[in-house]
Structure 1
């Protein structure tokens, strides 16, 4: 009995706000998610997200799927079918595409330059261990109702429609993914289609908050410093809901382009490696291989020391560069 009390006390201590802080990166988030949220869930009846499989932990944040525990059968990718992966319930592609940084350079650019994207990528409410193969098949598809698709993963009831680019999770987690999606779109002020809203509102009503979802919320809130208001009942998503944007705590840094050291292109081009941007078109030209390099008018010139600097300022390479 004393040993049991010690284990419980030790576990609760690991999720105490006094010893926790929100993760700063996706890599850090995966380790914290294992240690402080899902450590005791590997053999729970709930199992991982999509198929309810049990798993064993491996390394800092990985795991090996117990296929027999859930009747899982590999569809195609055996290696990924055997391991757990961390699923972003709202895909990084989805929230990334609503940030300017993604347009400038994709996910890597967002990680490097956008603190709001980094917060979204590392948000513990949006992470859940899942069978790697299903995680890969789901890709960046929206959740939806999938009909006419035969079972793809043995007894696992999650279905993926590759043609319609939609994924329907098992009934046991439909409410959880709906309320997690509401949270992400509300906290980070994202835009959701009316069709997606209607589907998720239906799932929210059909599949009420479970005891595990409440416990998960409690554990995550101890680290993040706030709860998911759509789990606690503080907020409810309705048609026409206006996201609050509570997570937009710092603006994306915007670099104010500085004019070239000298007003003439002739003198600017004598400096080795100078990249010339056009502040009117937000296109940049390299000293070699870009026919437009000598054609940018002096009044529109902006000089950059590197392509990464130009891209960070919101510029893109000229399409006619070789």
Structure 2
């Protein structure tokens, strides 16, 4: 049987082939590389932190970031005062909550020769997985999951889960411009501003689909509410498109959706 190749068939094959190439993943290979690419190629328009919109500057020689805490009225009496002018790149989904934390390289790093130095020092579980397991590296260094944050807020949040904090619960606030809240006792929760709740939710959904991150049912329902109430903003979509072109993966909860200024924070408008 002789197959007749029509122009439509050829065009479809070319389209499929091009789509496959476009989705070839190219994850960063180190945390340092992740931060460098994000600073140099993704977050280049408005140099503002994720939660509070604090302005920061970038040193062209080192790509290091310096925060301007007065730009977002960040209180000076917060803990970790030595970090008041620092920016840190934060995992929205902490590495400890990724499937990598269950891998053998994380649980038993001493069983991997590359994770044991000549002097017998054993790498941490995370560091070991970053050395020896490509799946772990991909989820830990995924650029969709990293955002610039004021270092003090990053320290407050640490690995705390996201949640909703009531006014009656004693919590830490971060000044009149930043609506983020941190609860340390009882329990531990971090609540992002309303204008970033949808962004957070859509990263978690992406990480679930891409790296099999587990989202408990109650948290999944909360994230769905957040995503519905805080739609995709133009800047969120722009950053996602840039990451997709560099990394080769797609956050379908953001890319291709109709962007709305309603989802923007005040400092993004």
- How would you bin the TM-score normalised by the shorter chain? 0.7 to 0.9
**Are 1:152 and 2:173 matched, yes or no?**
yes
1:172-221 deviations in Å (ceiling 9; x for gaps) = 21111100111111101122211111111110111010111111111111
**CA–CA distance in 1 between the matches of 2:206 and 2:144?**
8
**Are 1:27 and 2:64 matched, yes or no?**
no
- In the alignment of these two chains, the number of paired residues is 212
Provide the aligned C-alpha RMSD in A.
1.9
**CA–CA distance in 2 between the matches of 1:61 and 1:167?**
28
**Are 1:100 and 2:104 matched, yes or no?**
yes
Structure 2 residue aligned with 1:313: none
Structure 2 residue aligned with 1:54: 55
Structure 2 residue aligned with 1:41: 46
**CA–CA distance in 2 between the matches of 1:81 and 1:149?**
23
Q: SS in structure 2 opposite 1:55?
A: strand
Structure 2 residue aligned with 1:114: 133
**CA–CA distance in 1 between the matches of 2:213 and 2:26?**
24
TM-score, scaled relative to structure 2: 0.74
| Higher radius of gyration, 1 or 2 | 1
Q: SS in structure 1 opposite 2:182?
A: strand
Structure 1 residue aligned with 2:91: 88
1:48-93 deviations in Å (ceiling 9; x for gaps) = 1121111111353431111121111131111222110000111111
Considering fraction of residues, name the structure with more helix.
2
TM-score, scaled relative to structure 1: 0.62
- Output aligned runs, 1:1-322, within 5 Å: 22-42=27-47, 47-58=48-59, 60-74=62-76, 75-95=78-98, 96-105=100-109, 106-147=125-166, 148-155=169-176, 156-163=178-185, 164-232=187-255
Q: SS in structure 2 opposite 1:133?
A: helix
**CA–CA distance in 2 between the matches of 1:232 and 1:39?**
19
Q: SS in structure 1 opposite 2:159?
A: coil
**CA–CA distance in 2 between the matches of 1:124 and 1:116?**
14
Runs of 5+ unmatched residues, structure 2 = 1-21, 110-124, 258-269
CA contact (8 A) 1:30 1:61 kept: no
**CA–CA distance in 2 between the matches of 1:200 and 1:172?**
13
Runs of 5+ unmatched residues, structure 1 = 1-16, 235-322
The alpha-carbon deviation at position 233 of structure 1 amounts to 5.4
1:260-288 deviations in Å (ceiling 9; x for gaps) = xxxxxxxxxxxxxxxxxxxxxxxxxxxxx
Bigger RCO of structures 1 and 2 (CA < 8 A, at least 6 apart): 2
